[in-house]
Amino acid sequence: MTPEKLVTTYLEMTTPAAFRPNYAQQGDDVRIVKMEKPDVDFYRFLYREVGERWRWRDRLALSDDALYNILSSPDTHVFVMYVNGVPAGYIELARNGQMTEIAYFGLREEFFGRGLGKHLLSYGIEQAWNMGTRRVWLHTCNLDGPHALNNYLKRGFSICDVQEEPMPEVYQ
């Protein structure tokens, strides 16, 4: 059931000292690989597989050219997690000057509950700090996974704003 209100929580980390990584000990072969060349079809596959249950819509509405332009920007960094050779999820960083946004992050459903989310998030945050950013930020909402906000807080993010609005029609 769709909630009546969309509650969006904005979080930030302004110093690497706040970062509390949690890299899961995995028995599986877990690798995270940077997408070096834009691949619109593969990206759409990941976006759909990760975001469909959370009602992600933004990137599906873009033309192939528009999405290719985003993915080929030197400020966009997509890291794909593979488990035993299978794409398990991804994290996308969008750099803007001295700030880096975690634009998209998540796992495919069959990889839930194994500690992979905290592992992938930790990897993405580490990459953002390694890029020389001064602020890492993101937003989540009440349509996202039930553990998303808690994962962000446990990694060292703090809430900087919360906004409520009537549920947009696109999510109903």
Which 3-state string (H, E, C) describes 87-109? EEEEEEEEEECCEEEEEEEEECH
Give the C-alpha distances (Å, rounded to integers) separating 26 from 20, 86, 91, 116, 141. Answer: 19, 15, 19, 8, 29
Strands 86-96 and 76-83: antiparallel
Identify the pLDDT of residue 145.
Answer: 82
Identify the pLDDT of residue 28.
Answer: 67
The CA radius of gyration of the chain, in Å to the nearest whole number, is: 16
Structural domain that includes position 92: 5-171
User: How many domains, the chain?
Assistant: 1
Please identify which residue in the block is written with the tokens 């890029």. 131
Take residue 60 and report the two structure tokens written for it: 């599906």
Task: Return per-residue pLDDT of the chain as tens, 172 residues.
Answer: 778 898 999 999 999 999 999 987 666 689 999 999 999 999 999 999 998 888 888 898 899 999 999 999 999 999 999 999 999 999 999 999 999 999 999 999 999 988 899 999 999 999 999 999 999 999 999 888 888 999 999 999 999 999 999 988 877 6
Domain harbouring 146, CATH code: 3.40.630.30
Take residue 67 and report the two structure tokens written for it: 């999405």
Identify the pLDDT of residue 128.
Answer: 97
Interacting residues of 43 by C-beta distance below 8 A, sequence separation 6+:
35, 59, 67, 71, 78
Cross-strand bridge partners of residue 140: 9
